[in-house]
Amino acid sequence: MADSNPDSLSIEAGWTPGDSPAAADSDAYCEIIGRLMYLTLATRPHLAYAVNVASRAQAAPTEAHVKLVNRILRNLKGIINDGIQFKWTLYTTIGAYSDADLAGDKLTRRSTSGMLMKYCEGPVMWRSKLQRSE
């Protein structure tokens, strides 16, 4: 990864693993996913959706999932010095945003919803979740 070029996006819209062979080392995959989950909770909210998609395959990751995780890591390489910024002004601003896709998971036809709360233009709370189907 040290010699790889940074990637501008962590995941493409509508990404699916397709028919890909099983990954060689699922334990290492799970370890990397755990570390990426920590980053999404602590400092990298823009990765929440991509890590959510990658984490769905922890039981049986494929080579396509490993490529997705490598893409997320390349994206992190390009933004290693970026961080959350708050813009202080005379008036405090608070914003809340939410969105969902309709049956965005091509395999299960389940929707993913997301939420972002901002304080002084900096994100303070975020979430991305695959919805249940009953």
Confidence of residue 96 (pLDDT cuts 50, 70, 90): very high
Average pLDDT over residues 2-25: 73
The total of structural domains in the chain comes to 1
pLDDT of residue 95: 94
Give the three-state DSSP class for 79: coil
Instruction: Tell whether the model's pLDDT for residue 123 goes beyond 90.
Output: no
Is pTM beyond 0.85 here? no
* 11 located within any domain: no
Determine the structural domain holding residue 119 and report its residue range: 26-130
Does residue 56 sit within a domain? yes
Which residue type sits at 107?
L
Residue 37 in domain = yes
Q: Is 18 contained in some domain?
A: no
Contact 94, 34 (CB under 8 A): no
What is the reported pLDDT for 7?
Answer: 64
Q: What integer pLDDT is reported at residue 1 of this predicted model?
A: 59
User: For the segment 37-46, what is each residue's pLDDT rounded down to a tens digit?
Assistant: 888 887 777 7
Task: Say if 6 falls within a structural domain.
Answer: no
Within-domain flag for 4 = no
Say whether pLDDT at 51 is over 70: yes
Domain-embedded: residue 34: yes
User: Residue 45 has what DSSP assignment?
Assistant: G
- Mean pLDDT calculated for residue range 100-114: 83
Q: Which residues of 64-95 are buried (b: 16+ CB within 10 A; e: fewer)?
A: bbbebbebbbbbbeeeeeeeeeeeeeeeeeee
pLDDT of residue 83: 75
